[in-house]
Amino acid sequence: MLTIHTADLLVPGGGRSPLPGGAVLVEGQRIAAVEVYDDLAAAHPSARVRRWPGVLTPGLLEPHGPELLERSYHPDPREDLGTEPLTGEALASLAMTDTRWGASARRGVQRLLARGTVAVVGPLRRPAVIDAVHRSGLRIQDGATEAVPPALVPGAEATFAVFDAPECVATVIRGRLLHRRR
């Protein structure tokens, strides 16, 4: 299915100029075209259209992935532990099993997606956390290479985020809408 994602401003990255009223045409997991919305809509009248306020951009990379997902516990809302991630002594007092780490990582990943994150940077070591990140669709970059989100160009993975200051309104990874502001 073809989907056109459009916003007030498209910032494609990769040194390309911003495109007011720009849009990306997504086919499956890939970007099929990047143009002005009116041109894409005219060429593909049967495509589903998702209109977003703000700026459509390649998305964010999280350079503190290991700290956020492997050294912090994201409490289950049913627990009486508050809503903020626990670290240090508070974390040390919890009985952390692989299952609990995996559940914590899934909740942490949801927070990252809601901030427009498309990849975490740094070595993850806990198998339950790695599995949770892979299942979410987020990429893991080892940190050895320069952390730059891929540009929005035809043929690239359809991975991007849309921001309407100051918040993320949508995160798309490999063509899947994984977060949208309600």
Give the pLDDT confidence of 21-65 residue by residue, as tens digits.
999 999 999 999 999 999 999 999 999 999 999 999 999 999 888
On average, the pLDDT of the chain sits at 93
Provide the pLDDT confidence category of residue 142 given band limits of 50, 70 and 90.
Answer: confident
For residues 62-71, b (16+ Cβ closer than 10 Å) or e, as one string? beebbebbbe
Give the pLDDT confidence of 96-134 residue by residue, as tens digits.
999 999 999 999 999 999 999 999 998 899 999 999 999
Give this prediction's pTM: 0.90
Output the CA torsion sign for 59, 65, 68, 70.
positive
Residue 158 reports pLDDT greater than 90: yes
Residue 165 reports pLDDT greater than 90: no
Pairing mode of beta strands 48-51, 9-10:
unpaired
pLDDT top residue among 149 and 140: 140
